[in-house]
Amino acid sequence: MVAHDHKKDELLSWVKKHREILSQHQLIATGTTGKLISDFLGVNVKRVMSGPLGGDQQLGSMIAEGEIDIVIFFWDPMEAQPHDSNVKALLRLCVVWNIPMACDAATADFILSSPFMHSEYVAEVPDYTSYLNRNVVKKI
């Protein structure tokens, strides 16, 4: 879970609405957001660094390693962020690895209310074998 500074209150409001369901899952969040959620829910939240300090990239790595199943990221579309390139990279990795991603409360509601939240769901992971084994031509 991630929220930009001007979206933290909105995320906490959403968390409050879904506290029962969220408390049943292992939550991972960027620094300040994780502390706010942990304090609010009274549950342990695995915290990575703050987004601008590398937290977005840490989450991206966890996605690539298959450690994250869903991303809830309330980002602020009205303000430029000093780490916009990291934000874009995180969103890109969600698409690359077929990770459900919500960037607003409505989409997060749809994800959380999905029947797949209450059963084992194995997302199809794209096969990048041909990409990884492609012939790379060196140019000198």
Q: Which residue numbers belong to the known binding site for substrate?
A: 4, 8, 30-33, 50-51, 83
**Which residues does the annotation place in the binding site?**
4, 8, 30-33, 50-51, 83
104 catalytically annotated: no
Laid out side by side, the sheet with 2-3 consists of 2-3, 71-74, 101-102
Of 39, 56, 84, 127, the active-site residue reads 56
- The residues carrying an active-site annotation are 56
